[in-house]
Amino acid sequence: MSGIQSTWQYVDDHRDQMIADLQRLVQQKSISSSGEGVEECARLLASMMEEVGIRAEVMPTDGLPVVFGHIEADHPDAPTLLIYTHYDVQPADPEDAWESPPWEARVVGDRLIGRGTTDAKGNLMAHLKAVQALKATGGMPINIKFLFDGEEESGSPSLPGFVDSHRDLLMADAALSFDGGFDAGNIPRINLGSSGLLFVSLRAKGGEHDLHSARARLVPNPAWKLVWALNTMKDPDSNVLIEGFYDNVRPPTARERELLEQAGWDDDEQKRSLGTDEFVGGVSGTDALQQLLFTPTCNIAGFASGYVGEGRKTLLPSTATVNIDFRLVSDQDPDDILQKLRNHLDKHGYGDIEIETRGGVEPSRTNPDDPFVEVVVEAAKAVYQQDPTVRPTGDASGRQAVWLAGKFGIPGAGTAVGPPDWKGHAANEFMTIQHFLDGIKYAATIWSNWAERFGGRD
């Protein structure tokens, strides 16, 4: 029996204990939006890391703590991998919608039901159990640094500051994250990038207070001011008109286009899932997927002004607010786009419109031909006996492994071990027992394969 096969066998032989440990972590609340149980969960997680031989520490941030851990390889000159995932979870409301209590972590058939079972405590625990299995069957093949976030479900607002303050502590040769579940059809997925984000509120003012709408003959209406300002920002063909908006956009390479063509995009299925009859610009097929992943945009998330209740109320509002999110792609910078937005409004006569920034995330992309990416892909094939879906970047934004990789100038990949229909952020979230056990094997295989590849590099 080969080394990795003995590790896989160890996982199967110790499945009950490994499931029990996941239950123990799920049973501890860690709701970042309210802070409930987060500190307690961080301490529990650190102790569980110590149990398998990982040196662990609960470290403060400007918000909720991160849990940092480190374990060294049994061989010199091994590579160092930075692993990111999160231990915080969404609220479980409404709890009466669950088929079993969300904090009980009950096993029902082949499912472990509970808040955080997949997002992301099951993904996180796969790494801890992989350490346990490898140490019991031959030792650690690589050095690993673990960064477990306590604020991911709240946008990781404190993570950039923590990373900037601890660059030497976190420096590694590659970054990897486990979070979420498989694609539809039970196909493992690997993401090599993420979209950037800039979220702002624009606010216009009219009179000092709301007025009778007859006064609209004399007093400017702030809602119209925002409508006119927005009209200068985007045309009917969805082109963003902010000067310089597209200057730094990096188009997909030929290799990235090839990955898009292999992704199995289905127009009809996507339209059905999204509830639409057409895509913006009439795109279809691979061009639609490319537009989704590689084209930045400007989206109105919400518009608030005046009265929209039942009956008639003829009102001239005193304020109007619109929330806008810009989805950005490599190599756009949220701070640069914010300044270009300010310049655009000023140039078009809207210098009195206030901009409130509500957060930003830098986009990221990893070279799909990097040897580390090949290692992750080959590990997925070995464990799951099928080709994974490899996306050169993602449509969502977040501060996970590929974002960290961009910060450190190293390759990164994001993948997942949960089931495809894990009921994310909803009642009855679950992890199947088999997906969890296979996820442990997946983590161990990535590490072992990378040690072999890294040791054989030029």
Instruction: Please tell me the predicted confidence (pLDDT) of residue 3.
Output: 87
Domain with residue 14: its CATH number is 3.40.630.10
Separation of alpha carbons 393 and 413, rounded Å: 10
Q: Quick one: pLDDT band at residue 457, thresholds 50, 70, 90?
A: very low
Would the pLDDT of 61 be above 60? Answer: yes
pLDDT in the model for residue 1: 52
Does 262 reside within a domain? no
pLDDT of 219 higher than 80: yes
**Tens digits of residue pLDDT in 255-293:** 999 999 998 899 998 999 889 999 999 999 999 999 999
Furthest-apart CA atoms within the chain: distance in Å:
85
Partners of residue 86 on adjacent β-strands:
149
For 403-451, write each residue's pLDDT tens digit: 999 999 999 999 999 999 999 899 999 999 999 999 999 999 999 999 9
Same domain, 41 and 156: yes
CATH code of the domain covering residue 356:
3.30.70.360
Region 238-262: mean pLDDT is 96
**Tally of domains in the chain:** 2
Q: For residue 152, what is the DSSP state?
A: G
Split at pLDDT 50, 70, 90, the class of 458 is very low
Q: Per the structure block, which two tokens stand in for 32?
A: 């970042």
Interval 140-172: pLDDT, tens: 999 999 999 999 999 899 999 999 999 999 999
Average pLDDT, the chain: 95
How much of the chain, in percent, has pLDDT values that exceed 90?
90
Residue 53 exposed, middle or buried by CB count within 10 Å (0-12, 13-18, 19+): middle
Last residue of a domain, one of 361, 383, 418: 361
Per the CB < 8 A criterion, the answer to whether 105 and 22 are in contact is yes
Give the pLDDT confidence of 176-205 residue by residue, as tens digits. Answer: 999 999 988 899 999 999 999 999 999 999
Last residue of one domain, picked from the residues 326, 361, 396: 361
Reported for 397-400, long-range contacts at CB under 8 A and 24+ positions apart, including other chains, are 397/194, 397/195, 397/196, 397/197, 397/327, 397/361, 397/363, 398/152, 398/156, 398/194, 398/361, 399/149, 399/152, 399/156, 399/159, 399/160, 399/361, 400/84, 400/85, 400/152, 400/177, 400/179, 400/194
The pLDDT of residue 15 is 97
| Predicted TM-score (pTM) of this structure | 0.89
Residue 316's pLDDT is 92
**Which residue range is the domain that position 84 belongs to?**
3-194+364-455
